Amino acid sequence: MSEGRRNVENFQEKRDLFFNIFKFLFRKYNVNIFKNDKAYNIVVMFLKFIKTQDPISVFDPISFKDSIGNCIAYLPTRLLFIHENGLYHLCYYFKDSIQKSSIAFWKLCKNIYNINMGERSYLLSTKIADCADQIIKKCISTPESMYKKLLIAFYHMLHRLTFFEEIIIDTNEFFNIIMSLFNNCIKCYRFPQYWSSVSKIMNGFLNGSKIKFK
């Protein structure tokens, strides 16, 4: 069912039931929960579920943002969310709810990408490169700004953790995406706080390994 087989009998009911189980299980942070492998497997299933790209409007994912927050407070599951590009898939799967509650989503985004240098070695550069490629391709193919903002948040994490020295980044594509976002901000006469992250990212490009840049 979590592999995207939507022909499962009563798929929607079972899907909603699974989400409610996830919400209930992680309603409070309890490190003892993660001593049980089944809890970790539920997170794996959740991430597989949101890859099915079957957005729903009757179920509000923001209502269980606290459960996701408690879930990713445990480092192994936070790493899992990053490696599986969980936030990217949340953008698509729950896009209607995210647009209505953007503050909650971006706070969650900040918490998931809150990896420090001591934890950096747990992140796999191959996975990180795949995630970056997936997000940037979406930014190119869709006019929706939330993917561009997600790219900034993701690249800001890469800059902090010096991943620009390890993975190939197409700086031209990033610049084009940023210019598109910049032009929209000019039209609205608004420059959100994430623009400070953009300057740090560009600085990271300049100081990163130029050999690995496209």
| 82 shares its domain with 40 | yes
With respect to residue 170, please indicate whether it lies within any of the assigned structural domains. Answer: yes
| 16 shares its domain with 106 | yes
- Nearest 5°: phi and psi at 56? -125, 150
CA distance 171 to 102: 27
> Among the three residues 94, 114, 134, which one is the final residue of a domain in this structure?
114
Averaged pLDDT in 10-residue chunks for the chain of 214 residues: 57 83 91 89 91 66 84 95 94 70 80 94 96 93 86 92 87 84 67 71 72 45
pLDDT at 135: 95
CA distance 195 to 152: 9
pLDDT at 211: 39
Residue 129 in tokens: 């490169």
Quote the domain boundaries for residue 16. Answer: 1-114
pLDDT at 9: 63
> Among the three residues 114, 147, 164, which one is the final residue of a domain in this structure?
114
| 187 shares its domain with 162 | yes
With respect to residue 119, please indicate whether it lies within any of the assigned structural domains. Answer: no
Number of structural domains the chain divides into: 2
CA distance 1 to 15: 8
| 106 shares its domain with 40 | yes
CA distance 187 to 206: 29
> Among the three residues 77, 95, 114, which one is the final residue of a domain in this structure?
114
| 135 shares its domain with 202 | yes
Q: pTM, whole model, 2 decimals? A: 0.85
| 16 shares its domain with 94 | yes
pLDDT at 171: 83
Q: Which residue has the tokens 């391709």?
A: 137
Task: Give the type of residue at 32.
Answer: N
